[in-house]
């Protein structure tokens, strides 16, 4: 599939969005005639970073985009973090772990806003979470993997999300 075909078939205007298709194809080892099966995902937003092949959904991101998506995922899942990790990020004494666990268990997702306000440094917390588990843990709901592919000197990170 040539770039023009990728533009016409998928409606992708941005060069990087068109390159995402080729990065995914390379990651999956697709042959040229198989690339046409890559589609924009039904996920929102349809900005070219969410792609699908058959019923498999992928997120194909630049490094900065992967960091942004990862931060968003982390901040939306604070309630699911190990209470000990949260306590450290909040600068609380270890004795607060039981309280954090109880609140997270009781409130689930509704605890996120409170926990976010309690973090000493949001960016530092996010960086430590990524350092501990990797971006794939947060972005690849399928297998936790992060795949790197370079297309036309552009580095993409690919995550399977289902």
pLDDT (average), residues 20-25? 93
**Is there a contact between 78 and 112 (Cβ–Cβ < 8 Å)?**
yes
Closest CA to 65 of 83, 86, 79, 50: 50
What pLDDT, in 10s, does the model give residues 48-74? 788 989 889 999 999 999 999 999 999
Q: Which residue has the tokens 């917390």?
A: 125
Give the integer Cα–Cα distance in Å for 34 and 56. Answer: 14
Q: In this model, does residue 9 exceed pLDDT 60?
A: no
pLDDT at 47: 67
Q: Residue 2 — pLDDT band, cuts 50, 70, 90?
A: very low
Give the integer Cα–Cα distance in Å for 96 and 151. Answer: 48
Q: In this model, does residue 1 exceed pLDDT 50?
A: no
Which position has the higher pLDDT, 47 or 2?
Answer: 47
pTM: 0.85
Give the integer Cα–Cα distance in Å for 149 and 158. Answer: 8
What pLDDT, in 10s, does the model give residues 88-124? 999 999 999 999 999 999 999 999 999 999 999 999 9
């Amino acid at each position: 599939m040539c770039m023009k075909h990728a533009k016409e078939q998928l409606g992708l205007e941005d060069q990087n969005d068109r390159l995402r298709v080729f990065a995914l194809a390379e990651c999956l080892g697709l042959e040229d005639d198989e690339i046409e099966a890559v589609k924009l995902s039904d996920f929102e937003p349809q900005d070219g970073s969410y792609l699908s092949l058959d019923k498999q959904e992928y997120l194909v991101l630049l490094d900065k985009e992967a960091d942004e998506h990862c931060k968003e995922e982390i901040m939306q899942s604070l309630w699911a973090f190990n209470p000990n990790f949260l306590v450290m990020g909040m600068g609380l004494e270890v004795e607060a772990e039981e309280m954090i666990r109880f609140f997270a268990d009781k409130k689930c997702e509704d605890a996120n806003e409170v926990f976010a306000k309690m973090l000493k440094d949001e960016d530092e917390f996010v960086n430590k979470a990524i350092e501990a588990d990797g971006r794939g843990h947060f972005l690849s709901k399928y297998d936790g993997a992060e795949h790197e592919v370079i297309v036309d000197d552009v580095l993409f990170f690919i995550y399977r999300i289902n």
